[in-house]
Chains A and B, each alone.
Chain A
Amino acid sequence: DTGVSQNPRHKITKRGQNVTFRCDPISEHNRLYWYRQTLGQGPEFLTYFQNEAQLEKSRLLSDRFSAERPKGSFSTLEIQRTEQGDSAMYLCASSNSRGWGSGANVLTFGAGSRLTVL
Chain B
Amino acid sequence: KNQVEQSPQSLIILEGKNCTLQCNYTVSPFSNLRWYKQDTGRGPVSLTIMTFSENTKSNGRYTATLDADTKQSSLHITASQLSDSASYICVVVSGTYKYIFGTGTRLKVLA
Residue of A nearest to B43 (CB): A109
Near A by CB (< 8 A), chain B positions 27-78 give 31-32, 34, 41-46, 49-51
CB atoms of B31 and A111 under 8 A apart = no
Closest Cβ–Cβ distance, residue B9 to chain A (whole Å): 8
What is the interface residue range for chain B against chain A? 20 to 34
CA distance A35 to B91 in the complex (A): 13
Given contacts A97-B96, A101-B51, A105-B96, contact A44 B101 (CB under 8 A): yes
Chain A interface residues toward B at CB < 8 A? 4, 31, 33, 35, 40-45, 48, 50, 55, 91, 93, 97, 101-103, 105-112, 114
* A106-B43 in contact given A31-B97, A42-B102, A45-B99 (Cβ < 8 Å): no
Q: Is the interface of B mostly helix, strand, loop or mixed?
A: strand
Question: How many residue pairs bridge A and B at CB < 8 Å?
Answer: 59
A105: contacting residue among B4, B51, B93, B104, CB under 8 A: B93
- B residues bordering A, Cβ < 8 Å? 4, 31-32, 34, 41-46, 49-51, 89, 91, 93, 96-99, 101-104, 106
A43 touches B101 (CB 8 A): yes
Return chain B residues, CB-CB under 8 Å to A101. 51
When the two chains form their complex, are residues B43 and A91 in contact, meaning their CB atoms are under 8 A apart? yes
Q: How distant is A30 from chain B, measured CB to nearest CB, in Å? A: 11
